[in-house]
Amino acid sequence: MIAGKIVPAMATTTTAITGIVCLQLHTLTQTNQIKYFRNCYLNLAVNRFIMILPTPKIEHKDKEYNEE
């Protein structure tokens, strides 16, 4: 009985993720500015859908690698 509920859950999750990826690809074709892109947290079990700004990249300074 429990195993029969996995296929609809996978189809729903796959559809939601595909929609989010398509939205981000559409954003990419319209602009290259990072302020328009989002990270997404999706949890269909508790109906949680959160889109946040991406974190800035972390730059590490390595004395042996960077010749500055």
pLDDT at 55: 81
* Nearest-angstrom CA–CA distance, 39 and 21: 10
- The 10s digit of each residue's pLDDT in 9-65 is 778 888 888 988 998 899 889 988 878 888 888 888 888 888 888 888 777 777 676
Residue 49, classified by CB atoms within 10 Å of its CB into exposed (0-12), middle (13-18) or buried (19+), is exposed
pLDDT at 2: 60
| pTM across the whole model | 0.61
